[in-house]
């Protein structure tokens, strides 16, 4: 979750007279793209995991990352060549070659009889591994390099979790990638918990709005600790009904009313 420092979450209502319509105290503050805090949490039925706040990258960390990425990119060609050489000596490659040559032979015979040519693949002639050079993100949020380097396996469909670089590093470590559904708050129970946390920050601390990064980190940790197992289980228990309605709407979310 990303939460804006000093922001307002959800509607905020005040009582006013008609003549007070444009008074400063009766006009909602509109603050866009302010500084924000990115945090992660983990849940499962009957369990609430730790809470993690991502710290901003220091200049020293940026410089070290730039140097390490240059070295990684310089070596990726050699690494790709070694991987493909090993693949071409494997039983997998031999079986693939035999299968595709057999398919090509059958297609040629069929073309001779019918006069219709069919396309066949020759992937055994190509590369299984293609390592792309890594480029850093735009410094907004967590990019692939930070995600892999500081490795905390908490996933959804965020770009940093599903990039070529991340998937390659995951494969090297033998970590299976979960097939996540398309981004939808309905299908992620923890999104509802983030809404609860934001709502509590808004209602309980609305007058004394959190305006500093340090204070927001402390408040977020406190609110996460207040989330009960009962609340976690309640949100997860809604999933079967939500999924049934989503299927009924053929993947849509028009079941909200």
Residue 13 has pLDDT above 90, yes or no: no
- Higher-confidence residue of 200 and 233: namely 233
Run of H or E residues at 36:
strand 36-44
47 three-state secondary structure = strand
Residues 180-195 pLDDT 10s: 766 677 788 998 999 9
Residue with the two structure tokens 């997860």: 236
Which of 3.30.420, 3.40.630, 3.30.70, 3.40.50 is the CATH number of 2-136+181-249? Answer: 3.30.420
Residue 142 has pLDDT above 70, yes or no: yes
Listed ranges 94-98, 116-120, 147-151, 207-211; the one with the highest mean pLDDT: 94-98
DSSP-derived secondary structure letter, 225: H
* Distance in angstroms (rounded) separating the CA atoms of residues 152 and 226: 23
What local confidence, expressed as pLDDT, does residue 74 receive?
A: 93
Annotated domain spans of the chain: 2-136+181-249, 140-153+160-179
Q: What is the mean pLDDT of the chain?
A: 84
- Higher-confidence residue of 245 and 90: namely 90
Residue 138 has pLDDT above 70, yes or no: no
The mean per-residue pLDDT over the stretch 117-139 comes to: 86
What local confidence, expressed as pLDDT, does residue 175 receive?
A: 85
Locate all alpha helices (DSSP H) within the chain, ordered by sequence. Answer: 59-88, 91-114, 144-149, 164-172, 189-204, 213-226, 229-237, 239-248
What local confidence, expressed as pLDDT, does residue 28 receive?
A: 63
Residue 19: HSE in the Cβ half-sphere, 13 Å Cα cutoff: 0
Q: pLDDT grade, residue 43 (50/70/90)?
A: very high
Instruction: Look up the pTM and report it.
Output: 0.68
Residues 63-118 pLDDT 10s: 999 999 999 999 999 999 999 999 999 999 999 999 999 999 999 999 988 888 88
For residue 218, give Cα distances in angstroms to 193, 225, 230.
Answer: 17, 11, 23
């Amino acid at each position: 979750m990303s939460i804006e420092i000093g922001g307002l979450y959800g509607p905020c209502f005040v009582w006013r007279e008609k003549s007070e319509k444009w008074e400063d105290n009766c006009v909602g503050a509109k603050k866009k793209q302010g500084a924000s805090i990115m945090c992660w949490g983990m849940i499962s039925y009957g369990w609430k995991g730790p809470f993690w706040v991502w710290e901003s990258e220091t200049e020293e960390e940026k410089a070290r990352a730039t140097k390490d990425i240059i070295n990684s990119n310089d070596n990726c060609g050699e690494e790709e060549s070694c991987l493909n050489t090993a693949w071409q000596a494997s039983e997998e490659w031999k079986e693939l070659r035999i299968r595709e040559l057999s398919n090509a032979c059958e297609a040629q015979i069929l073309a001779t009889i019918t006069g219709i040519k069919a396309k066949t693949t020759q992937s055994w002639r190509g590369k299984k591994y293609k390592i792309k050079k890594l480029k850093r993100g735009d410094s907004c949020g967590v990019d692939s390099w930070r995600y892999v380097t500081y490795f905390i396996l908490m996933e959804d469909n965020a770009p940093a979790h599903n990039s070529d670089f991340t998937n390659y590093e995951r494969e090297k470590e033998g970590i299976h990638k979960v097939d996540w559904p398309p981004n939808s708050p309905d299908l992620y129970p923890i999104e509802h918990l983030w809404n609860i946390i934001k709502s509590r920050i808004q209602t309980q601390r609305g007058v004394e709005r959190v305006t500093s990064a340090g204070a927001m980190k402390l408040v977020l940790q406190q609110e996460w600790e207040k989330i009960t197992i009962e609340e976690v289980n309640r949100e997860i228990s809604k999933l079967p009904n939500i999924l049934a309605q989503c299927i009924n709407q053929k993947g849509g979310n028009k079941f909200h009313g």
